[in-house]
Amino acid sequence: MQIPQIRIQSQPALIGLKTTKGVQQISQPKAEQSIQQPKADLNTKTTKGTLTIDQTQAWNDMDLKSVFVQTEEAAQLGREDLLAGIARRAQEGDQLMRIENGGNPIAEHARVNSGGEMKEWNIGWIPSAGSVKLDYQPARVDIEVQVNKPIIETTPKKPEHTYQPGDVEVFLRQRNSLSIDFV
């Protein structure tokens, strides 16, 4: 026996999606920068050193005196010898005046005046120690520096940004269907 049959066949609807990805680009250009360093201002001032050498005493020790010093010394020695001679003659006169007191003043005067003193002799061309006087004032250097700051100029650049948005497209990939069959 045959029984009628119902056959149902269904097909679901299918949705399709088509996507396009978004594109984004970001780039950062380098900033423009200018740096200048001015030279420092430098000023120097030098005071020269001085050296003073006084060798007057050394020349005098070696008996190489100036005319003025020799004249002064000769005048002084002459004064001293004059006064010593006057004193000696006054003393001799006093002794001769008192001849009655005894003794032989004339012979004594002859003996004293005839003999000379022993002369001292020394090397005359070597100056005494420390007779050359030195005075030194060292040089002085003053340095003035004026520092100049660097000149920095910067121009920043904005970032470059491009964006293309993505897209989604929806479509029906398969239609739904229902078929009913009787057999």
Check whether 42 has a pLDDT greater than 80. Answer: yes
Strands (E), 108-182: 133-137, 140-146, 151-155, 160-164, 167-174, 177-182
The two three-digit tokens of residue 64, written as one number: 């190489």
pLDDT tens by residue, 17-26: 999 999 999 9
pLDDT tens by residue, 113-170: 887 677 777 666 777 888 899 999 999 999 999 999 999 999 999 999 999 999 999 9
pLDDT tens by residue, 45-100: 999 999 999 998 888 878 788 888 889 989 999 999 999 999 999 988 888 888 88
How far apart (Å, rounded) are the C-alpha atoms in residues 83 and 77?
10
What's the pLDDT band for 37 if we cut at 50, 70, 90? very high
What pLDDT sits at residue 124?
60
